[in-house]
């Protein structure tokens, strides 16, 4: 993900910033909008939906507007506060750990996916929201390890990655963990393509 200042794609208000005026919560950008559009097409009224790494709560709010019973989860206390301020039910926690088995019909995740050399990282909540680690999969792989547990029968996962993250490798990793996959949506940008992968249990 790339940091974007100011209003989101739908004119959402700016996020909380620290006292220096620096953004502390990832704001909706092109990746968020693509994931939200795709996710909204997959839910029906009454579906239980989870937005992992919810940030400002943008994707969760769009799912709720589409009729889903949506909740966000984020490890950052700053993100949880902003999502709650934006009217999104939110739980502070690590990926899907706070939730019970078989709880969700749809799980959406816009992770930090851009490969980031260790010497280019810094230590704060925004770095945690942006850095995908050396291969871009710092949180992608742990998410795929765990997400099958919280899927309801027939449930699905929508994961947004970049072409720089090697989507084929992500799909292979998921298959080893019992998740079938398909490329569900793509959007080209100057230096990468954004890809929404759909997963379901094999």
Q: Tell me the pLDDT tens digit for each residue of 50-106.
A: 999 999 999 999 999 999 999 999 998 999 999 999 999 999 999 999 999 999 999
- If you average pLDDT over residues 36-63, what whole number do you get? 96
pLDDT at 2 over 80: no
Distance CA 72, CA 59 (A): 9
pLDDT at 6 over 50: no
Closest CA to 59 of 103, 136, 1: 1
- If you average pLDDT over residues 176-202, what whole number do you get? 93
Contacts of 90 (CB under 8 A, 6+ apart): 54, 57, 60, 71, 72, 73, 74, 79, 80, 83, 84
pLDDT at 119 over 90: no
pLDDT at 33 over 90: yes
pLDDT at 17 over 60: no
Instruction: Name the strand (E) or helix (H) holding 63.
Output: helix 58-65
Convert the pLDDT of each residue in 126-179 to its tens digit: 555 555 567 778 899 999 999 999 999 999 999 999 998 999 999 999 999 999
Domains of the chain: 30-201 (3.40.50.150)
Contacts of 57 (CB under 8 A, 6+ apart): 51, 72, 82, 83, 84, 86, 87, 88, 90
More confident: 188 or 2: 188
Distance CA 100, CA 117 (A): 35
pLDDT at 37 over 80: yes
Residue 114 confidence class, pLDDT cut points 50, 70, 90 = confident
**What is the reported pLDDT for 109?**
96
Strands 151-162 and 192-201: antiparallel
More confident: 201 or 3: 201
- Residue found by looking up tokens 């871009």 in the block: 136
**What is the reported pLDDT for 28?**
74
Residue 181 confidence class, pLDDT cut points 50, 70, 90 = very high
- Residue found by looking up tokens 């704060």 in the block: 124
């Amino acid at each position: 993900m790339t940091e974007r200042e100011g209003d989101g794609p739908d004119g959402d208000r700016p996020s909380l910033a620290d006292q220096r005026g620096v953004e502390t919560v990832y704001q909706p950008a092109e990746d968020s909008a693509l994931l939200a559009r795709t996710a909204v097409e997959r839910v029906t009224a009454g579906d239980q939906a989870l937005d992992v790494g919810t940030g400002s709560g943008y994707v969760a709010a769009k799912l709720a507007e589409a009729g889903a019973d949506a909740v966000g989860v984020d490890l950052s206390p700053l993100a949880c506060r902003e999502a709650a301020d934006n009217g999104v039910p939110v739980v502070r926690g690590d990926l899907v750990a706070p939730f019970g088995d078989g709880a969700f019909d749809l799980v959406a995740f816009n992770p930090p996916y851009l490969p980031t050399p260790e010497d280019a990282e810094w230590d704060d909540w925004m770095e945690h929201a942006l850095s995908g680690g050396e291969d871009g999969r710092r949180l992608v792989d742990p998410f795929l390890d765990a997400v099958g547990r919280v899927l309801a029968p027939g449930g699905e996962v929508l994961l947004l990655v970049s072409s720089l993250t090697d989507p084929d490798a992500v799909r292979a990793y998921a298959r080893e963990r019992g998740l079938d996959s398909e490329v569900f949506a793509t959007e080209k940008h100057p230096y990468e393509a954004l890809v929404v992968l759909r997963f379901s249990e094999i």
